[in-house]
Structures are given as C-alpha cells and as structure tokens.
Amino acid sequence: MACRASRRPGRATYSFETRVPPSPERRAILNGVTSALFSESLAPLRANPSTSAVLLDIDGTLAPIVDHASDASVPETTRQLMIAISRRYGQVACISGRRASEARAMVSVGTIAYLGSHGAELLRSGWTEAQIDPALEQWTPRLDEFRRESDTTELRRRRVRIEDKGPIIAYHWRGATDEQDARAAIDAIAAHAQESGLEVHWGRKVMEVRPPVRIDKGLGVRTLLGAGERRFAAALYVGDDTTDLDAFHALHALVAEGVVGRAICVGVHSDDGPSAIEEEADIVVAGTDGVRELLAALVAE
C-alpha cells in the first residue's frame, strides 16, 4: 500500500491508496507511514467514539459500482465491519441516492439510520417507514407524469434504465450498447425537465430529475447531526460522487457552528469519479477496498 499526502494552506490531506494513485503533481510520496497517518487522521473519532458520527455513501463507497444498480451488493466483510462500527460509534448512517428502504435492505444493518433519495427520506433505526419532507410530496403526481412521458420505446431501445426514487427520477446509461447515443437521449430529457420547471442533477453516468425543492446530502447531514442539543466530538463522511460534496460542505459548516468538533471528509478514488472529490477530501482511499480498510481502522483495537 502506498501513502501520499499534500498540504494546502491550513489543511493537510492524506491519501491512502491500494491500487491507482492520484497524480504525482498533487501528492508527494511518503513511504512506510501509512498506518501512522491513518491513526493520526482518525484519532478524533477513535478517541471519542460514543460522541462521534460515521456517515457513508453506499454505491461506489460500500458497494462496488456495477452496470445495473439492482445487481450491486455490499460485501459481507464490509457489512460485518459496519455492524462493529454501529456498536461503537454514537451515530452511524448511510446516505444514498437510493430509496431509504432499498438502502437498508442492501446494507442489511438494522441498527443504523438511512437517508434515502440524497437525504429526502429519513429512516431511523427501528422505524418501519421513511419520513419524507412534506414539501416534496406535493410534487409526486408531477414527477409520476414526467416519468411516464419519458419512458418511450426509443429510450428503451437505447437501454436507458429509469429508476423511480420517489421524489426523484434517475436515468442511467451505464452499460448501454451505445453510451454516447444514450447520453444524447438523456440530454434531451434533461432539457425538457428544465423547461417544465423541474431540476436536473448529474452523477456518474446517471441524470436525475427532481422537484424544485432543495434535496441534497448536505441537508441530510444537517437533519442527522444538526437537530436538537446534541454535540459531536467528530464526524466522518465517506463518498465518491459529486452529490457527496454537499455532505463535505455541511460537515465543515457544522464545525463552524459548534455542532461538530472535528470534520473528516473521505473521498473514494475511482477512474470515472469527479476530481473535486479528491481535491476537497481530507483523506482519499482507493475504491471500495480502501473504504473497507478505513472501516477496519475505525474498529481496530
């Protein structure tokens, strides 16, 4: 394993790589000190586990990215580490673009919270149904209508997959026979959505149509950590895509507000992931294998 680090004004960044290192221009090589740097970076959480939070994305973070979202799964070794983390840390949650109920079924750890649809749905431990922002529910009929209108024979011929996420419609073109042609069809849908007063968000080979109501993982982080009088010694967030940047920003804002003592943002490196994830992260790990190593470090004796 190689460890790389870079220093920007006011902040140190460490990168723990098991496969593909980031560009050498951004990180100087530090050999033989990976374990020490991991311990240093995670020390605020490990020192105060009962008053610390561990928050994670799922797809591309806990579960490897696959062509069809329905085929994705969390490895059993990762799931066991999540169980151990849930027993040690004060707040543990997964924040996913999937529906909250689907995220819970995928991770299969019932003692943690799940924020689905990028934070629009909250499913706490012990709850049987997710709580949805009332401001989003009024848009359900309009989103259903748009989904039906867009689900054409031509779109299916291009192998574009439509995913119903409740208050969000996702259009996936990963694995399409001609991804460029499929992307062109999705561009047209995105333009129509914007003309109809809806909002469009882009991810890794996915485009989402949303109502013009704020939905982002940063708001979800605030829902979990910012409500009430509880204060957290430290909070960790791990993610791999553009939508996870909102969670990074929210954690730093909560530090400024005194709700969180220390924020640790972890970016997951992937070949087609956004560069901003690595640029804004405090720690960068290589893929889901790197995340698993991070989780193991959180519960190591």
Q: Please indicate whether residue 178 is annotated as part of the active site.
A: no
**Ordered DSSP codes for 254-267:** HHHTTSBS-EEEEE
**Ordered DSSP codes for 108-120:** --TTSEEEEGGGT
Tokens (6 digits) for 235: 């909070």
Q: What distance lies between CA 2 and its chain's CA centroid?
A: 24
Written as one letter, the residue type at 94 is C
Residues in CB range of 70: below 8 A, 6 or more apart: none
Separation of alpha carbons 231 and 226, rounded Å: 8
Q: What are phi and psi for residue 114, nearest 5 degrees?
A: -135, 130
Separation of alpha carbons 270 and 250, rounded Å: 23
DSSP code at position 1:
-
Written as one letter, the residue type at 264 is I
Written as one letter, the residue type at 293 is E
Beta bridge partners of 267: 239, 284
Tokens (6 digits) for 93: 């949650």
Q: Contact, 240 vs 64, CB < 8 A?
A: no
Tokens (6 digits) for 108: 């299969």
Q: Contact, 96 vs 62, CB < 8 A?
A: no
Say which of 57, 241, 246, 282 is annotated catalytic. Answer: 57
Count of CB atoms within 10 A of residue 258's CB? 8
Q: Catalytic positions, please?
A: 57
